Structure 1
């Protein structure tokens, strides 16, 4: 296991290198010019070129990339072209808000998806399966921003139960105030994850119920509930672990659209602002963090496989 972890960590370096090259190339090929955000109607062309030179955008693209790479090796992700603040500080300041929101949404989705997926798989083609499938199809089909607007209209505008946007109420510094602001975005994101998780768990449950060990447990007198939640659920957790590993990147990027709708001060809204302003260093920093968390999430999933299924650990 230690050799696996060491090998995967070493593979992280070239992966992040190629991700940075691809992201930098796409950013440079995208239309737009960040210098235009500093230009006024009466500005002289020499002043515009001076701004371009101060931002380091007058050099060839490959030189700009190597300058950024040099700063990266020194532990610096550069400075924002818009607000001139360190990119790393901005990401770290917003990371707790996004990580808390996404972790809560993923945990809520998993806790609900496991019993729903097991129930749907055990009652294949019955009314329970049809109802759960309908809920899953709705979650997969309906855009999250549309669901967010509906929940805001119902619970914030009509019923006045929850706040509309933001993370805190001005002048209020209680934990309950943060929880109230996070309920709606957490529910929206959890519903999106839930719809996908239920489909995977249902399919895995249907396959596991055909295995011989299920019939053996029934022969020993085990009830249907015991078979599902004591034996089948252990094998169903494998695809869930895969999905959780792939969701690690969301702990950094979050749901950009959802955070924008609810004005949640996370990395997703920071990324949206950076894209609008063509803020290259911020876009590169967020992409690099997202790729790093995705790679570490896949490594964590591989490690958890060994605990969920000892046969995988012995094979390795």
Structure 2
């Protein structure tokens, strides 16, 4: 396993290099100009060109990329073109907010999906299965931004129960206040993943209930719920580990949408602000961070799969 981990980590380097080239090319091909963030109506053309020169944007695109890559190899992600703050520092400052939102959403989604999926699979085509399936289909079909707006309208505007934006109330530093602000964005992000996990667990449960070991447990006098939550669950959880690793990309994308709608001060909202201002150092830094998170998520899933089921040999 150690060799596999080392090999996978080494494969990360050329992959991130390729991602950086594609991302930089897309930024340069996209319409927009970061210099426009500094332009005022009465600014002279010479002043605009001076700003462009100071930002290094008057050089050819490949020179700009090579200079950025040189900084990256020195452990420096550069500085924002808009606020002139270190990119790495801004990502680190916003990382706890994003990590808390993503971690809570995944935890809630998994903890709810396991019993719901098991119950739906054990009661195939019955009324409870149809209700759970209906919820799952809604979760798969509804866009996250629409669900976020709907929850804001109901719980923040109409009922005035929960805050609609931000992470803290001004002047309030309690953990409870952060939790109240996190209920809506966390619920929106978790709901999309909950739907997919429920469908997956339901399908696995239906297959496992046809296996011989289930009939043997019935012969020993075990009831349905004991078999379901003591024996079937062990086999159902194995594919979920892989599914978690594969869903890291969707989790990052969902976090970007959710943070933007709820003004959650995480990496996602930072990235959207950078896109609007064509701030390519921040866009590049967030893209590389997201790509690394996806790669490490899949690697962790493979390792956990091998630990949970020693019969499986991990291959790089």
| TM-score normalised to structure 2 length | 0.95
Q: Which residue of 1 aligns with 2:57?
A: 57
Question: What is the match of residue 225 of structure 2?
Answer: 225
Larger CA deviation: 214-223 vs 70-79: 214-223
Q: Determine if the alignment matches structure 1 residue 263 to structure 2 residue 236.
A: no
Q: How many residues align?
A: 316
| 2:281 matches 1:281 | yes
Report SS of the residue matched to 2:131: helix
Greater Cα shift, 297-306 or 34-43 = 34-43
Go from structure 1 to structure 2 and tell me whether the alpha carbon gap of 1:171 and 1:250 turns closer, same or farther (over 3 Å shift): farther
Which residue in the other structure is 1:4 paired with?
Answer: 4
Residues 49-98 of structure 1: per-residue CA shift (max 9 Å, x gap): 21111111111111111111110011110111111111000000000001
Q: Which residue of 1 aligns with 2:179?
A: 179
CA contact (8 A) 1:71 1:78 kept: yes
Which residue is equivalent to 1:79?
79
Alpha-carbon distance in 1 for matches of 2:314, 2:158: 57
Counterpart position of 1:16: 16
Is 2:113–2:194's contact at 8 Å kept on the other side of the alignment? yes
**Aligned equivalents of 2:41 and 2:177: distance in 1?**
45
Mapped contact 1:167–1:264 kept (Cα < 8 A): yes
1:252 CA displacement: 5.8
TM-score (norm 1): 0.95
> Quick one: distance in 1 between partners of 2:54 and 2:181?
41
Distance in 1 separating the partners of 2:227 and 2:29? 55
Paired with 1:11 and 1:57, the residues of 2 have a C-alpha distance of 32
Query: What's the counterpart of residue 234 of structure 1?
Result: 234
Cα deviations across residues 257-306 of structure 1 (Å, max 9, x unaligned)?
Answer: 21122111111111110111111011000000000011100010001101
Q: CA RMSD in A?
A: 1.7
* Structure 1 portions without partners, runs of 5+: none
User: In 2, Cα distance between the equivalents of 1:251 and 1:150?
Assistant: 20
Q: Distance in 2 between matches of 1:98 and 1:315?
A: 31
| Residue aligning to 2:169 | 169
Sort the Cα spacing of 1:314 and 1:9 in 2 relative to 1 into closer, same or farther, 3 A.
closer
Match of 1:200 in 2: 200
Q: CA deviation at 1:249?
A: 4.8
Deviations 1:188-235 (A, max 9, x none): 111111011111111111222222222222222222112211121111
Aligned to 1:307: 307
TM-superposed CA distance for 1:254, in Å, is: 5.5
> What is the CA–CA distance in structure 1 between the aligned matches of 2:315 and 2:48, rounded to whole Å?
62
> 1:168, 1:177 within 8 Å by CA — same for their partners in 2?
yes
Are the counterparts in 2 of residues 164 and 181 from structure 1 also a CA contact under 8 Å? yes
2:112 corresponding residue in structure 1: 112
Give yes or no for contact 1:98–1:252 (8 Å, CA) kept in 2: no
Residue 40 of structure 1 and its aligned partner are, at CA, apart by: 2.3
Residues 1:315 and 1:77: Cα distance change in structure 2 (over 3 Å): closer
